[in-house]
Structure 1
Amino acid sequence: MHDHALFVQAVSGFTHWVLEPHASITVLERLTDRATAVLDLVGSGILLDIDGVLTFATALPEQVADLEEAQERDQQGPGVDAYRSGHVVTSPDLSVEDRWGGYAAMALARGLHATAGIPLRAGDIRVGAMSVYAASPREWLEDDIAALSALADVATGCLVSGSRQRGKDDLVRQLRGALESRVAIEQAKGFLAAQEGITVEEAFARIRRYARDHNESLRSVAAAVVRDRGLGGPEGSGPGWAGPGG
């Protein structure tokens, strides 16, 4: 069962966001974070439709990012099916899943045993899909699917609300901006991991923690990590370095 109090809080937060613009990547990061917390999951990830190709945009934690990259590469998986069908797609036990080629085996190898794909849509506008993951086989209860769908719908509403006036081209630009954010975050993860002698996942956790604690987007913190160190500043001289490294 999902945490109803957290669900109400998450929906309320997104409802306020509809009334004011936010960067697409910030909305997507919030969606993955809230969906994971509300259902007490391992993690979740987002695919976006860019020129007809579902493309990995953001995910947490690292093993989920691996699966979203696989969905992008192979164009198959729960998120891909959810987007194409317009309906929720579930797999309660990946050990007996025969869809999606090697996807199930890849998930199991990363300790993920159940998944669901949720379309991201607002009316007749479809922008992508969210995939969520559980650490053990899980029956996806109707109430849990309803909660995930509601979060996905209200987050998608945040993405498209401003674009309804400015047109589809503006929405496409927003989604492309989210992908650029992903590239910046990947660079920062690799940079911090190499500098600190830690794993990429540990580096990502530090970046996420700093962004959350300081109410900043992952993209802005990631850019600061690379920029400040690249400029040759001393350790701790800038927010991008001191925070994630601390």
Structure 2
Amino acid sequence: MVDAIDTGAPVLCSALEVTARWPGFTAAALQRDVHAVFAFPVMLGAISIGALMCHRRAAGSMGRAAVTTALALADSLTPALLTDPDDSAEEVWSQHLHRAEVHQAAGFISVFLDVSLVEALSQLRAYALSQERPIVEVARDIVDRRLRLPRDFHRS
């Protein structure tokens, strides 16, 4: 969706039937039995280069974990979109998967500490620095449930 690209923020529409935001799109989507749409910006730093569009036939909101996963997926699409088409998919994903893990770990932290994703990412970075470990290793430990940041951990 253009709104996700323009704003750089997710667009979450859980019920197309009740929105007047996109009249032409809404009518066409409802004719195709699409009742909820979600768009996640695909970013290169601060630049929006596209959007990951998701839809479903039943109205309803996405859960926090699903939104976090979709944001990580959108983030992990960037290298694939900007990589030489002759590179193998395995090569592209192996080089850039760690970014998805970092964002997935930030999602875990966000839920556990009840903070924003930006704050969770900041907490993850601070924790990795305080432990003198690469952020990717810490993220993997969090995603694999071998590590949980202490609730009382605060950035210096």
TM-score (normalizing by structure 1): 0.32
Identity of aligned residues (%): 32
Alignment match, 1:228:
none
Cα displacement (A) at 1:161: 5.8
Paired residue secondary structure (1:144):
helix
| Pair 1:159 & 2:81 matched | yes
Out of 59, 63, 70, the position equivalent to 1:137 is 59
Checking the alignment, whether the CA contact within 8 Å between 1:118 and 1:149 is kept in structure 2 is yes
Q: Would you say 1:108 and 2:22 are equivalent positions?
A: no
Give how far 1:81 is off: 0.2
Deviations 1:4-37 (A, max 9, x none): xxxxxxxxxxxxxxxxxxxxxxxxxxxxxxxxxx
Matched to 1:107, the amino acid is: A
- More helix by proportion, 1 or 2? 1
The separation in 2 between residues aligned to 1:160 and 1:127, in whole angstroms, is 10
Q: Deviation string for 1:121-180 (max 9, x for gaps)?
A: 121332111211101002111111111111110111333367xxxxxxxxxxxxxxxxxx
Specify the code of the residue in structure 2 equivalent to 1:87. A
Deviation per CA, 1:86-127: give whole Å up to 9, x if none: 000011011101101221121111010000111111213321
Matched, 1:124 2:38: no
Quick one: distance in 1 between partners of 2:78 and 2:22? 26
* SS of equivalent residue, structure 1 residue 116: strand
- The code of the aligned residue for 1:132 comes to C
Is 2:29–2:35's contact at 8 Å kept on the other side of the alignment? yes
The alignment of Structure 1 onto Structure 2 pairs a total of residues equal to: 84
Moved over 3 A (4+): none
User: Does structure 1 residue 82 correspond to structure 2 residue 4?
Assistant: yes
When the two chains are superposed, the root-mean-square deviation of aligned CA atoms in Å is 1.5
Q: Distance in 2 between matches of 1:161 and 1:103?
A: 31
Q: 2:3 & 2:73 partners in 1: Cα distance?
A: 19
Amino acid aligned to 1:113? H
Extract unaligned runs of 5+ from structure 1.
1-78, 163-246
Contact 2:33-2:57 within 8 A present in 1 as well: yes
| Cα distance in structure 2, aligned partners of 1:122 and 1:142 | 23
SS at match of 2:23: coil
Report matched runs for 1:1-246 at 5 Å: 79-160=1-82
Q: Which blocks of at least 5 consecutive residues in structure 2 are unaligned?
A: 85-156
Amino acid at match of 1:140: M
Q: CA deviation at 1:85?
A: 0.3
